[in-house]
Structure 1
Amino acid sequence: MKKGTTLFLKITVILIGIPVLALCIFLVPELGNIAAKLLPEFAFIKYLVFLVFYASAIPFYFALYQAFKLLHYIDKNKAFSQISVEALKKIKFCAITISTLNVLVLPLFYLFAEKDDAPGVIFVGLVVPFASVVIAVFAAVLQRLLQEAIDIKSENDLTV
C-alpha cells in the first residue's frame, strides 16, 4: 500500500477522534443535566451518565490508537505479522467493551422514552451498541483471516 493511502487513513483516524472528544466535553455534561432534570427521583443518574459515556470513550480511543498502530505496521511492511493480529484482537475487545457499556445504559433510554412518550429514543440508544458489535465482528473476521494468512505463510517458509 502506498504511503499516501496510509497517511490519508491515519489522518482519518485522528479526525474520527476529534468529534468524540468534542461530544465528551460539550454533550455529555448536558446529557447528565438533562437526565437529572427528567428523572429527579434518581439522584445518581447524572453521575451514571458521566460514568458510562466517559468509560466508553476510553476503549474508543484505545481502539483508535490500535488502528493507528496497525496502519504504522502496514507502512513498515509488517502487516502480515503477529503484532497486527494482536492489534486487531485489541480493537475487537474494545468494540465489545463499548457495546457492553452502552447496553448497560439502555434502561436510561427507556426511562427517557417513557417520560417524553417518544419510543424512537430507544432505537437511538441501540445505534452505538449495534455499530460496536458490527465493528467487533469485522475485526474478528479480519483477525482470523490474517492469522490464517500468517499460518499459510509460515508453512510455505518451512517447505521451501
Structure 2
Amino acid sequence: MNVKRGSTTFLKVIIFLIGIAVLAACIFLLPEAARRDAIERPGDYSLYPLLVCTYGICITFSVALYQIFKLLTYIEKNNAFSELSLQSLKIIKKCTFTVIFFILLAIVYLRVHAQFTGDDAAGPISLGLMGILATSIIAAIVDVFQKPIKNVMDSQPKNN
C-alpha cells in the first residue's frame, strides 16, 4: 500500500465516521430533542422550523460527504483531473451554498421568533454566523480546487 492510497483510505474512514455521526444525530438526537420539547411545551410548535433547517443541513451535509468520498476514490484511481472530479466538486460547492441557505433561514426564524417572545437570540445567531463563515471557507477551498481541474480539462485536446 503506497502513501497516497494509505492517506486516501484514512480520509475515507474519517468521512465514513463523520457520516455515521450525522446519521446518528438525525435518527436519535434530533427526534429525542423534539420529543422532550413537545412534552415540556405542549401545543408549542416553534421548534419545528429549526428542525426542518437542521434536517436540511444534515441531508445536504451527507450528500457533500458522499461526494467527497467519491472524489477520494477518483484520486485513488488517478482520475483527480477528470470530468468526474469536477462534477463532484460542483456538487460539493452547491451543497455548501445550500447549507448556508438553511443556516440563514434558521437565523431569520430565530430573529423573528425572538421579536415575538422577547427572548435573546444573540448566541444562536452568532453561532449561525460562524457556521456561515466556516461553510464559506469550504466553498472557497472547493473553488480553488476546481480552477486547476478546469484548466487541465480545457487544455486537453478533445477526442471527436
TM-score tier (shorter): 0.7 to 0.9
Q: Corresponding residue for 1:98?
A: 99
Cα separation, 2, equivalents of 1:128 and 1:40: 30
Contact preservation (8 Å) 1:80, 1:150? yes
Q: Which runs of 5+ in 2 are unaligned?
A: none
SS in 1 for 2:81: coil
**1:27 CA displacement:** 3.7
Q: Please tell me whether the aligned partners of residues 36 and 45 of structure 1 are also in contact (alpha carbons under 8 angstroms).
A: no
Separation in 2, partners of 1:106, 1:139: 25
Report the TM-score, using the length of structure 2 for normalisation: 0.79
Instruction: Give 1:128's aligned residue.
Output: 131
Partner of 1:142: 145
Q: Quick one: distance in 2 between partners of 1:119 and 1:38?
A: 23
TM superposition shift of 1:36: 6.6
Q: Find out whether 1:3 has 2:5 as its counterpart.
A: yes
2:63 is aligned to 62
How far residue 126 of structure 1 moved from its aligned partner, in angstroms, is 1.7
Shift of 1:85: 0.5
Q: Number of residue pairs matched?
A: 155
Aligned-residue CA RMSD (Å): 3.0
Q: 1 CA distance for matches of 2:84 and 2:70?
A: 9
Asked if 2 retains the 8 angstrom alpha-carbon contact of 1:67 and 1:91, the reply is yes
Aligned to 1:86: 87
Extract unaligned runs of 5+ from structure 1.
Answer: none
Identity of aligned residues (%): 39
Distance 1:3 1:64 in 2: 19
Output the CA distance in 2 between the equivalents of 1:25 and 1:82. 35
1:24 equivalent in alignment to 2:26 = yes
Q: Deviations over 1:1-54 (max 9, x none)?
A: 62111101101111222332233234433554677799989x442221221111
Report the alpha carbon displacement of residue 129 of structure 1 after superposing the two structures with TM.
Answer: 2.1
